[in-house]
Structure 1
Amino acid sequence: MTDPLSEIVTLLQPEAAFSKISSAAGPWQVRRVEAGRPFYGVILEGACRLAIEGREPLILEAGDFLLIPASSGFAMSSKSPPARDVDSVPTMLPGGEYRLGHPDGPPDVRMLVGYCTFGSPDAALLVSLLPKLVHVRGQQRLSTLVQLVIEESRTQRPARKVILSRLLEVLLIEALRSTTGTTASPGLLNGLADARLAAAIRCMHESPTRAWTVAQLAKEAALSRSAFFERFSRAVGMPPMEYLLAWRMALAKRLLQRDGVGIADVAERIGYSSASTFSVAFTRHVGLPPARYAREHTAARE
């Protein structure tokens, strides 16, 4: 059976761009304002405070995993933030660990934090299907995976980049599937958490070439057409046919980046009756014809 969540994480093409071990003691605060950079972290010991724009502050504890797929403004600080709203300047300790707040004495918190990159040309679309915040507590499997990422990132062994990418894929899948219940923001997890909608989403992923209609998908979900349309749109954040189109175009982009795959072949693989029909749809959705898209991405690899 096709697993939509695994497919999306694989399509994201995550890579470990940067990670570091940080510790802190006393009052401290760091803020991040850059948008679009996927931020992740795990609390190794102690506790700290996370404040994200538009959300209630959250206390992170040892063993917690945090993922913000598209970083917007957020701040991490001591459990009681410093009186002055000023960012702390980290100092490097022997061994490469960064220290915030008081430089001496035992830390109040120790954590692995880092950024990853998503290589997919459709990263914005795919990230929009994920929760704005993933917070997982008490999952030993995640801690084990994070430890593997730490160990691999510190070495220069052969195939290091490939191993890190695969570990990040597994880490993201494990974190996302460990998120129970629905989230505040619409996205794929909300859809998959709804058993009826999940049936329709899996149908779209298993058979993207089929000429699906809202009525057919509603039947797969055992819902009326109107109830399915409203429930899907509210949970996922876009209407079902828009999701199907976006998914087909994400698959098309991946195929067009491969050598030796023609336009007609791509059209057939994602459910279009002709190359011309596919070209019109792709151009409208992406902003340039598929042949030009393929040429530009081939040139970028050379």
Structure 2
Amino acid sequence: MRSTEARVYIDFTEEHDRFLPEGPRWATIGGRPALVWVNIQLDASAREGEINVHFPGTDGSSDSGLACPGRPGFVLPTADTDCVLVGVEKQLRICNLVDSTWTESLATIPDDNPRTIINDAEIVPGGKAVVFGTKDTQFDADAKLAQLYLYTADDDQVTVLVDKQVCSNGKVFASDANGLILFDIDTPTRKVVRYRLDVAARTATPDGVALDLANQVGFPDGMCDCGDGTVIVAFFNPDFAEKGRAVRFSLATGEALEEWTTPGSPRVTCPLLVKRPSGVKLLLTTASEGMPADMRAKCPNAGCLFIADTQFADCPAPEVVQLS
């Protein structure tokens, strides 16, 4: 299996910036291409996080970190450039990243449990809907407090698709003759589960396990589509390791095809494929979340963002949310 070592793309001087970066996305901010991601929380006890903005090809002086009114689980680009859709705590809100303003809540999830917050999300092809999940902040595999939701932009409605999850993470869409397919990760299960998604009926019908990742080191976290029937899954390793991993799998056969490694950072959270002038690159967020001091000392790149070369000639064009 081919293995490619990623290199540090963005390092941080402040420890809180390394805690829990996730969900990198390509967006247009102030008329310029930008990489945006969330830092879900700033430390283990924090009740707030940030949206980070980086302008590739610059000296970083225009980069920024915008404080959020809570812990953000995802940030998604919208057709209204400068604005992003953010899942923060239990609400969906729009944030203008140029003037740092927030709208009131577009929608609130029907869940008042203080342990659950919004986590990862993906835009349904066409941009008129978003599937997102929640996580139990205590990661209690027996309680199963988290849920998977559908948000539709035309009416700002939120519907529960799947209940009894623990930590809803990476999502990818595909389609076949029978309609739209959702691939979803509930991290502690170490599986990628297939659902038949009917947006009009607001249902997700289980359709088997696409990937059983029980033999992989670490827990599957974020996931991205490669556009060729394969996906890249980031693995969060709670134990010490000299490097982290993101692995490409065939959704048809379950075979592991290649990997990318992150030296000095074992807790890989999310992948993103981007097409740049020099080719298709893989961006990886990593985290220092939960590391004891002695482990953190042995993982100098924990929480950095990484970039790696790929052999892809192309990758899926990024979707944007089409707000009503």
Q: TM-score, normalised by structure 1?
A: 0.21
Higher strand proportion (structure 1 or 2): 2
Find the structure with the greater CA-based Rg: 1
Higher helix proportion (structure 1 or 2): 1
Q: TM-score, normalised by structure 2?
A: 0.20
